[in-house]
Amino acid sequence: MNLRVSTLLIAIILLLPASGLADIYKYVDANGVIHFTNTPTTGDFRLYQTEGGDRVTVKDYIERYANFYRLEEALVQAVIKVESDFNPYAVSRKGALGMMQLIPTTAQMLDVRDPLDPEENIRGGSRYLRMMLDQFKGDLDLALAAYNAGPTAVRSYGGIPPYNETIRYVDKVKRYLNLYRRSGETVL
């Protein structure tokens, strides 16, 4: 074969779709055995690597669930920054878990099976944040206060509860929100 024909064949092969590419999903069973598949059979599998070979990142989860729940990515980032400083294994002294610090009963209500799994936690936390924004008619201060202290406390006080922790929390999330809005970047 001459050089031209070889070059042409290589170019054609490279342009053909790669039939072997597929998203890869990962699942760790109760015995700690890791399972990988391109065709998940249960909801226990989580996207591990995209078809193009890229690993899924926390930034991808933030983007996916912020868009799904009609939230600003910067807001989800700000809540994560304040709640856990992006630590997926964070556990508060009150028992809140993961990046968005979900209380176990809240996680259960949101169908989050593993609050320490970044994807599940960000999905659940984003959903809860959307619920709080809807419940308080888009009032960000009240929604953030409810995320921190619970919606019952916000309703009982008719506004942000007079808890130092909650007042600082709302201010801190809003500061990071403004920072992330201005920078347009993820700090991951």
- Single out the catalytic residue among 51, 63, 72, 83: 83
- Sign of the four-CA dihedral 185, 55, 16, 10: positive
What's the rounded Cα separation, in Å, for the pair 138 and 130? Answer: 9
Query: Which pair of structure tokens corresponds to residue 60?
Result: 């991808």
Query: Which pair of structure tokens corresponds to residue 15?
Result: 């342009």
Q: What count of other Cβ atoms lies within 10 Å of the Cβ of residue 58?
A: 18
Q: Note if 83 is an active site residue.
A: yes
Residues that are catalytic: 83
